[in-house]
């Protein structure tokens, strides 16, 4: 009887350990597009970002917009929103770039109709997911001032700039994952392949968004070495990337992201991935290494 109990206990511990290892090994799921995120229709909490709409693809917004700019909000009237439905506002954008339409002035006045999000001065931005302080502004001509349109209006997702750049170039909004041929090439070229958590270097930011900054250099915290060895954490740099609208990938600064990194160790540790590491799973690589 005691022997049976001991065996049962061993099975429980073994199963729990295996589950824990599997969970640790799984790469972080790729963020979905703002327009593809689930809609919080409860109207009861602040955790959901209700300014989303699965039926509102970015290419359609690009086609319908008269003006698309990137920038940050410097003032709003009224100052912020309250309640579940947010009334009309006027705002001033400090424009960073014009993506579509006639070049916008450095300071652009806009209006926002009643919506499920509200505008806020970037200097007073909070963690409220329904507040919009900057990003990609999708606008239509509206008389005295351009008017935000669409269910979102202001796209502040960390990948929004890339999605709009690709859509404006006639490409699918989301960057495709690496092909099987790319993975085979990287497996052959890499000295080390590691499943790791990556964090960008705050001192080398190349792209900033309201939610996340991106850098070409960062730190890898190895979780599992798939080929070779890599003691960690280690500083790495992103290798040369193909030129394409919206770029390819970079290291996230404010929060880590896990993926599979293919490394050239002949000099400075360099990641040779030319597509997002978080779009590669360890399972794919193990199959190619067999």
pLDDT digits (tens, 9 = 90+) for 157-200: 889 999 999 999 999 999 999 999 999 999 999 999 999 999 99
For residue 85, what pLDDT is reported?
65
For the chain, domain boundaries: 34-168, 175-289
Q: Which residues of the chain have pLDDT under 50?
A: 1-52
For residue 27, what pLDDT is reported?
37
For residue 144, what pLDDT is reported?
86
For residue 9, what pLDDT is reported?
37
For residue 31, what pLDDT is reported?
35
For residue 198, what pLDDT is reported?
97
Could you please state the CATH topology (level 3) that the domain comprising 34-168 is classified under: OB fold (Dihydrolipoamide Acetyltransferase, E2P) (2.40.50)
- SS3 per residue for the chain: CHHHHHHHHHHHHHHHHHHHHHHHHCCCCCCCCHHHCCCCCCCCCCCCCCCCCCCCCHHHHHHHCCEEEEEEEEEEECCCCCCCCECCEEEEEEEEEEEECCCCCCEEEEEECCECCEECCHHHCCCCCCEECEEEEEEECCCCCCEECCCCCEECCCCHHHHHHHHHCCCCCCCCCCCHHHHHHHHHHCCEEEEEEEEECHHHCCEECCCCEEECEEEEEEEEEEECCCCCCEEEEECCCCCCCCCCCCEECCCCEEEEEEEECCCCCEECCCCCHHHCCHHHHHHHHC
For residue 247, what pLDDT is reported?
94
For residue 185, what pLDDT is reported?
97
For residue 278, what pLDDT is reported?
96
**Class of 175-289 per CATH?**
mainly beta
Fold: same for 34-168 and 175-289 = yes
For residue 84, what pLDDT is reported?
55
């Amino acid at each position: 009887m005691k022997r049976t109990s001991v065996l049962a206990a061993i099975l429980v511990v073994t199963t729990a350990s295996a589950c824990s290892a599997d969970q640790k090994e799984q790469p972080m799921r790729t963020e979905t597009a703002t327009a593809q995120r689930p809609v919080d229709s409860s109207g009861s909490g602040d955790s959901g970002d209700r300014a989303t709409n699965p039926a509102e693809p970015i290419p359609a917004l690009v086609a319908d917009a008269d003006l698309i700019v990137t920038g940050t909000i410097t003032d709003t009237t009224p100052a912020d929103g309250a309640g579940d439905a947010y009334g009309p506002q006027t705002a001033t954008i400090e424009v960073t770039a014009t993506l579509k339409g006639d070049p916008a002035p450095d300071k652009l006045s806009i209006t926002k109709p009643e919506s499920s999000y509200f505008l806020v001065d970037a200097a007073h931005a909070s963690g409220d997911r329904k507040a919009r302080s900057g990003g990609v502004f999708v606008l239509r001509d509206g008389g005295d001032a351009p008017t935000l349109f669409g269910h979102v209006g202001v796209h502040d997702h960390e990948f929004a700039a890339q999605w709009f750049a690709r859509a404006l170039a006639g490409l699918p909004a989301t960057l495709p994952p690496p092909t099987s041929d790319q993975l085979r090439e990287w497996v052959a070229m890499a000295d080390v392949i590691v499943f790791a958590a990556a964090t960008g270097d705050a001192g080398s930011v190349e792209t900033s968004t309201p939610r996340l900054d991106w850098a070409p250099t960062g730190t890898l915290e190895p979780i599992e070495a798939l080929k070779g060895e890599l003691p960690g954490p280690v500083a790495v740099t992103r290798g040369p990337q193909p030129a394409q609208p919206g770029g390819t990938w970079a290291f996230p600064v404010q929060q880590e992201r896990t993926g599979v990194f293919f490394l050239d160790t002949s000099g400075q540790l360099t990641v040779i991935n030319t597509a997002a590491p978080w779009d590669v799973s360890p399972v794919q690589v193990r199959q190619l290494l067999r």
